[in-house]
């Protein structure tokens, strides 16, 4: 009989153990899972370069001039005000190498014969096809190849119609324009 009572006691203890574990689990589920939690939406973050907002300066003429592998500028005419600071950006949007399709921007003084100037420039390969110490130039960029960019700043001269051009050999035929100062 003692053996039976020990087995019964063991069953009763196991029963209470399972009952307590079940009761504890039930209470835990009620306590934790009773409310639906709102899912937090992921915050959207823009990744990239933050642009600085610059105050526009009316006394600066920002000129962007592109040149391509077809020996063309995107502009045939540039207008600025006399005395205005000019920030000129030359972008070579082509792919060809500087030695095959280099481009520059040269602003000539008034009444300079462009044909004679480019003839002199063609002999100045070592200097980027820009005659050294030329009195005919107001401003110029360096010679650049495909995918390159160069920037220059200068003060616009007195009112008049000036010429700008690319001095790389044979480019002047199609790469020139008027620089009009008002």
pLDDT of residue 167: 97
Longest dimension (CA), the chain: 131
65 band by pLDDT with thresholds 50, 70 and 90: very high
pLDDT of residue 17: 74
22 band by pLDDT with thresholds 50, 70 and 90: confident
Q: How many whole angstroms separate alpha carbon 50 and alpha carbon 29?
A: 48
Over 60: is that where the pLDDT of 34 sits? Answer: no
DSSP code at position 83: T
pLDDT digits (tens, 9 = 90+) for 101-157: 999 999 999 999 999 999 999 999 999 999 998 999 999 999 999 999 999 999 999
Over 90: is that where the pLDDT of 20 sits? Answer: no
- As a dihedral over the C-alpha atoms of residue 71, residue 77, residue 79, residue 84, rounded to 10 degrees, the angle is 30
Place of tokens 């207008």: 79
Share of the chain above pLDDT 70, in %: 71
CATH class of the domain whose range is 60-181: mainly beta
| Residue (of 86, 89, 79, 91) closest to 57 by Cα position | 86
Q: In the numeric block, which tokens belong to residue 105? A: 């921007």
Over 70: is that where the pLDDT of 39 sits? Answer: no
Domain positions in the chain: 1-33, 60-181
Q: Are 172 and 114 in contact (CB under 8 A)?
A: yes
Which sign does the torsion angle of CA 155, 110, 70, 96 carry? negative
Report the predicted TM-score, pTM, of the whole model to 2 decimal places: 0.69
DSSP code at position 100: H
Over 80: is that where the pLDDT of 59 sits? Answer: yes
- Taking all residues of the chain, what is their mean pLDDT, rounded to a whole number? 86
The helix or strand, by DSSP H or E, that contains position 98, with its residue range, turns out to be helix 98-101
3-8: average pLDDT: 61
Q: How many whole angstroms separate alpha carbon 61 and alpha carbon 78?
A: 10
Q: Are 140 and 107 in contact (CB under 8 A)?
A: yes
86 band by pLDDT with thresholds 50, 70 and 90: very high
Q: Which of 26-35, 37-46, 77-86 has the lowest mean pLDDT?
A: 37-46
């Amino acid at each position: 009989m003692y053996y039976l009572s020990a087995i019964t006691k063991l069953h009763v203890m196991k029963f209470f153990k399972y009952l307590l574990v079940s009761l504890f689990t039930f209470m835990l589920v009620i306590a934790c899972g009773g409310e639906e939690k709102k899912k937090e939406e992921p915050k959207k973050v823009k990744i990239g370069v933050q642009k600085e907002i610059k105050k526009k300066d009316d006394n600066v003429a920002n000129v962007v001039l592109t040149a391509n592998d077809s020996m063309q500028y995107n502009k045939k005419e540039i207008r600025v005000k006399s005395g205005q600071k000019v920030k000129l950006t030359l972008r070579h949007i082509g792919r060809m190498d500087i030695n095959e399709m280099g481009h520059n921007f040269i602003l000539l003084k008034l009444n300079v014969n462009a044909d004679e100037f480019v003839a002199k420039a063609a002999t100045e390969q070592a200097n980027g096809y820009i005659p050294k110490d030329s009195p005919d130039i107001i401003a110029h960029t360096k010679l650049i190849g495909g995918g390159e960019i160069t920037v220059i700043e200068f003060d616009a001269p007195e009112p008049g119609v000036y010429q700008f051009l690319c001095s790389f050999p044979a480019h002047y035929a199609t790469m020139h324009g008027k620089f009009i100062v008002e």
